Amino acid sequence: MEVAPGDPWAAYTRTVVKFCRPREGDVVVRPAPTGQVGEWPWASPLPVSILTAWDPGEERLGDEENRVRQAALEADLGHLTGARWATVGVDPESGHREEGVAVRGVAEGEARALGARYRQDAIFVWTPDAWVLAACRGRRRLALGWSVGPP
């Protein structure tokens, strides 16, 4: 997966994300080799963006402060879309965990700008064809494959 050891994006390429979907059933997405994809679990093929306001940059804030920041992010998203789902991302190597939100119907540029506003390095954009890491600032982009399974 196109990152060198020590690259801050290495943890992103390992991140496993659980989507809490009360009506459709929860799913877990795992990164896979580029080009390998699973069965798309959504009714619509529209991209799903995953954002968080947790632990910006190198900061490691407590759960309380992170949840305050996340609530502010979700309030901002409320002006853009009503379709959203809670997420939890975990790096299985380090155990680092961040709560987030998945949205559909928000343009990738808007999602990246909102991530930048909350000082995030990148967002995930999930499509039927790829699990994409997209920089919030700059043009860096990394497309991986994905697999999906039960929680």
Instruction: Locate 104 and state its tokens.
Output: 């559909």
Cβ(88)–Cβ(45) below 8 Å: no
What DSSP character marks residue 108? H
**Cβ within 8 Å of residue 82, ≥6 positions away:** none
Cβ(28)–Cβ(149) below 8 Å: yes
d(CA 30, CA 27): 10
* pLDDT, tens only, 45-83: 999 999 999 988 777 888 999 899 999 999 999 888 878
* pLDDT, tens only, 57-67: 777 888 999 89
